[in-house]
Every structure is written in C-alpha cells, then in structure tokens.
Amino acid sequence: MGDVFIPGGEMSARHDDGNEALIDVIGIDILPFRTIRKSRAPIVSAVNGICQGGGLIIAMLSDIAVASDRATFRAPETLRGIVDANLSAMLPAHVGIAHARDLLMTGRRVGADEACRLGLVSRVVAHDDLRRATRDAVAELLRAAPNARMQVKRLINARYGVIDEMSFEASLLSDEVVEGFNAFTEKRTPNWVPEEFRSGDRL
C-alpha cells in the first residue's frame, strides 16, 4: 500500500483563461461529497497516507475511517484563499470549535494518533495491517440492518447543518484564490502573509 490517500485538488496546473478556469478545475459540481453523504451503502475508508482537503472530507464522511499509523491529515484550503464550506461545516462537528478553528485557519498537519484523538477518524492501525483492519470494519458494518444503519447515518449527518456552497463558489472567484494558486505553483509564500512571517517557501 502506498503513502498517499488523497492529497487534495490539483494545484500545479497553469490556467491562462482567467478566474473562471479555476472553477472548471475545482468547482463544487464535480465533487463527490454529496454522493458519499447520501449513500445508503456503507462507506469505509482505508487512509493509507497523505489525507488533506477533499480527502479529509471523504474520511470524515465515511461511516468508518481506518487510518494507517503513517497517515497525516490537513485542511490547507485557507492557505490557498479557498473558503471550503464542507470543511467549515464538518470539522466542528467532529473535533469541536476550538480544534476546527486551529485546523482550518492554520492548515497544520496532524498525525494519525492525533487525528483519532480529535475525532477525524475512528481507528488507527499499523500500516501493514490496514487492509485487514479495513476488511474487518466492512464485515462489522454489514452486520447492522441496512435500513436502521441508513437512518442512523442520516441522523448523524444532520449534525453538519447547512453547508454554504455559495460562499465556497464565491471564494473561487476571489483575488485571494488566484494569489493562493500562483504562490503554490511558484513555490513561494502568498503575499498576504506579513513580511516578517514569510518563510519564502510554499505553504
């Protein structure tokens, strides 16, 4: 098993057609989160490595997320100028407001043990045991009555509340997202970071 689960959206490509091209790349209509959230079938994730952005959302939406002890987790969207409505709605429900603010506003990485302690995932196992542990999780989920399981999932998912997709879409048209993408591509710190805190490196 490799060391990448989902690293997030593609950030490195150049887009010469203006801001609208960015929406074509990361617009919300192509994202799978609604489908996963509404799935009547059980969803189990085997998080084998880097898990950030959309990958973190998928892990949180999974009925069970089993993580390798090598996995790392991150929500870097604000470092790119993106207002991710899914993360903003879901993270507080999983980790509480204080931890959600920390993770969303700093974009810091957390390891598997901290992610489990915070509530991003429910199980952490040795990397070499991940496939077996994930299969075990599937077997355990399938013991539950399908309709009862689906109704419980619906009640739990209701805790996320309203997901403000308009704010997400509006952020994709902002000057900040253009600068965020350019800074990432050019491997530099975005210009909104105060000069005394700029490392010169990509965030």
* Model confidence pLDDT, tens digit, residues 11-66: 554 444 444 444 455 555 557 888 898 898 999 999 999 999 999 999 999 999 99
- Phi and psi at residue 123, in whole multiples of 5°? -140, 140
Domain definitions of the chain by residue range:
4-186
Superfamily the domain 4-186 falls into: 2-enoyl-CoA Hydratase; Chain A, domain 1 (3.90.226.10)
Gap between the Cα atoms of 146 and 134, Å rounded: 19
Query: Measuring CA to CA, how many Å separate 136 from each of 8, 75, 115, 142, 190?
Result: 27, 28, 21, 10, 44
Q: What integer pLDDT is reported at residue 24 of this predicted model?
A: 54
pTM of the full structure: 0.86
